[in-house]
Amino acid sequence: MTDISANTVFHEQINQILTLPSPLQKLEDEVFNKREIQIFVKRDDLIHPEISGNKWRKLKYNLLEAQKQGIGQIVTFGGAYSNHIYATAAAGKYFSFETVGIIRGDELNENSSETLHFASQCGMKLHFVTRTEYREMRELPDSNWITQSFKNARIIPEGGTTSLSLGGVGEMVDEIVQQLGQAPDYILCPVGTAGTISGIIAHSSPKTKVIGVCVLKNGTYLLNEIETLLENASMVNVGSVQNTTNTNFEILWNEHHGGYAKKTPELLDFVSKFNAEHDFDIEPIYSGKLFFAFYKHFLDNIKPNSKVVLVHTGGLRP
């Protein structure tokens, strides 16, 4: 068992830099009143403009563990538009870690994405590899090349999901319960690598049904990922007490609108209407698909008096 919760200096830094707990905002809509249900949005997008949403939640205990072991370098993976690369580079800047991003694709140049320019400005060293090399490294993050080149680094996989990530996500669930004064009936979140939903499952009361909206096509392999993450998380002691055998969850597999980062006109229309009518924004890749699925396919099945929380996992850039 690893216990890495007690690093007071790091916790002080966290409190200075980040907005925690993130707000739990009530979503107002006549439809909800008619159905006598209460809908809330967990505004993790407000944690920090550059390390927002589930990115912070998933990084927290990975960074704490690195710091505890005296490791000053973080190596991670992503594409040219990756939210995880963006947030890890920013976290490195704020929490004084050297960061290295292994990037799928071309060299940094004036045509590179805003994500890569930002990461580089934060001090992240970018290492570009071909798609084939990237796939090999992603499948074998402990491959010789990586471990030989970065001997004293902490290696965090694509998307930032490790068994330590679940503890940070669990703290979001604890905040919800505290803010609501009770465990909600449902928590809904988008699913990409399944780290976020695994943390929610492990830290939710069995009374809470956890619903994931898978943002990619053919994502059912993620059920194995969830099982493995929950199994591994039972070996580490971070965040609050977890129930890694909780099975009260369901994933909606057909709400991806064509696949990862694909957008139907219906989805884009929904997102722009939602953004025009509310005081916060969603984006079409994660939160848009979550809110769309909620309104179009989930709302009808909610029993009166239910309390439902949708997690805004960030993804909007400053």
Ligand X SMILES: Cc1ncc(COP(=O)(O)O)c(C=O)c1O
Q: Which residues bind ligand X (CB under 6 A)?
A: 53-54, 83-84, 159, 161, 190-197, 286, 313-315
Give the nearest distance from C-beta 30 to ligand X in angstroms: 28
Of 191 and 210, nearer to ligand X (C-beta) is: 191
Of 101 and 314, nearer to ligand X (C-beta) is: 314
Give the nearest distance from C-beta 128 to ligand X in angstroms: 21
Give the nearest distance from C-beta 315 to ligand X in angstroms: 3
Give the nearest distance from C-beta 294 to ligand X in angstroms: 15
Of 38 and 78, nearer to ligand X (C-beta) is: 78
Nearest residue to ligand X by CB is 315
Give the nearest distance from C-beta 28 to ligand X in angstroms: 24
Of 37 and 104, nearer to ligand X (C-beta) is: 104
Burial of 123 (0-12, 13-18, 19+ CB in 10 A): middle
